[in-house]
Each structure stands twice: as structure tokens, then as C-alpha cells.
Chains A and B, each alone.
Chain A
Amino acid sequence: DIQMTQSPSSLSASVGDRVTITCRASQSISTYLNWYQHGPGKAPKLLIYAASSLQSGVPSRFSGSGSGTDFTLTISSLEPEDFAAYYCQQTYSSPLTFGGGTRVEIK
């Protein structure tokens, strides 16, 4: 199975801050990497697919990059509604696996 390692596991930031979350795969997954946002009591929401494609309706402050084993999700300027957990997911091979998550908290 492909292991996905996210860092950091949590971070504190302020509205307006730039935030970067990283995800590393245990083997190359090309660009088959997705990012999701998950707020408490809410349905997970797709932000980025195929490493860098912005899902329709998602604000442009979210961006993704990377290929192979190393990937990054960047939020250019945090908004109040962005405080949530973020997960990467590889769909290169089955079983599909998620990273452990990054909780973005208010400083």
C-alpha cells in the first residue's frame, strides 16, 4: 500500500496568513493526488485534483503543486471559513489512501 505522510499535523495561523501543507507519498504517484477540506460536522470538500487542478467553485486562494512523491497545498491568504482539517489522497493505485490530515486552527 502507498503511505501518505502529511506535515504538519496541525498549525495555528491568523486570517490573512499564507499557509503551506505538504504531503509525501511512499512511492511515485505521478500527479494522482487530491486535496480535501473537512470542517467539523460537514461533508469533506474537494479542493484540488490531479495535484494542481482547482475544483470548480473553489476560491483561487487555494492552489496545489507537485508530482512524483512530494506535493504542496497552499492557501495564499487565510479566510475565517478556511479553519478546518485538510487531507491529501492518492488515487494512483488501490487501496486508495489518505494522509493523516492537517488541522488548521485560529491563532
Chain B
Amino acid sequence: QVQLVESGGGVVQPGRSLRLSCAASGFTFSHYGMHWVRQAPGKGLEWMTIIFYDGSEKYYADSVKGRFTISRDDSKSTLYLQMNSLRVEDTAVYYCAREAGGDRGVRGYFDSWGQGTLVTVSS
């Protein structure tokens, strides 16, 4: 069955970097666009970024543009999120999600999600 497993979270100081990973299994990873979504403590879900199935295009929420970079390694069926210049307000659980039914990042839905990894930005 489809499985997404995030890792790489932890406690980091403001201004530092962290890289999250999302290991995919149970499906042909290279056929799907992938997203990162986060949830800050006590808050709702916030979409962060998408990478197209072929890696040709990437889009970001304004809140992370220029600081976060999404990438993928299809040979390892793994999605990444490189987070630089971290801020206290980036503290959240980060989820990866698989996109289905859409076209170039819109008009679809997220049919599989990971359990999330917690990132805490604190001095």
C-alpha cells in the first residue's frame, strides 16, 4: 500500500538549516507531483510547496519563498525539503503529501499523506 514516511525533524536555532526527507513506497514515485504541508501548534494546515512529477517546476508559498527548496530523487523514491534561515514561526509539524487527479499542481487533491515530522525552531 501507499506509504509516506517523513524524517529529519528536530530542534534547531533561528537562522540555521534543516533538511527533511519523505520516503515513498507502494507506488511509482516518479509519476506523481508531491507537496509539503505544515501545521503550526494550535493552527490549521498550510500548504508550502509543490514539485511536479518530473521535477520540471516548483512553486512555493510566499512565507517560505527564497528560504525553502523542494527537490526529489526518483532513484530513491524520496522527496526533500531544504529549509534555510529558519524562523521561530516555522515551528510546525511538516507533512508530505501525494497529489492525484490534478494538472500541473492545481485542480487535484492529496490522496496520501505521511504522519509528519516536528520541526521546532527555538534559541
Residues of chain A whose beta carbon lies under 8 Å from any beta carbon of chain B: 32, 34, 36, 38, 41-46, 49-50, 55, 87, 89, 91-101
Evaluate contact between A94 and B105: CB separation under 8 angstroms. yes
Taken together as a complex, chains A and B put the C-alpha atoms of A55 and B39 apart, in Å, by: 23
B4 proximity list for chain A (CB < 8 A): 43
Evaluate contact between A55 and B111: CB separation under 8 angstroms. yes
Evaluate contact between A50 and B101: CB separation under 8 angstroms. yes
Pick from A38, A41, A49, A91: contact of B45, CB under 8 Å:
A38
Taken together as a complex, chains A and B put the C-alpha atoms of A34 and B37 apart, in Å, by: 15
Chain A CB within 8 A of B108 CB: yes
A36 proximity list for chain B (CB < 8 A): 45, 110
Evaluate contact between B106 and A45: CB separation under 8 angstroms. no
A91 proximity list for chain B (CB < 8 A): 102, 106-109
B109 proximity list for chain A (CB < 8 A): 34, 46, 49-50, 89, 91
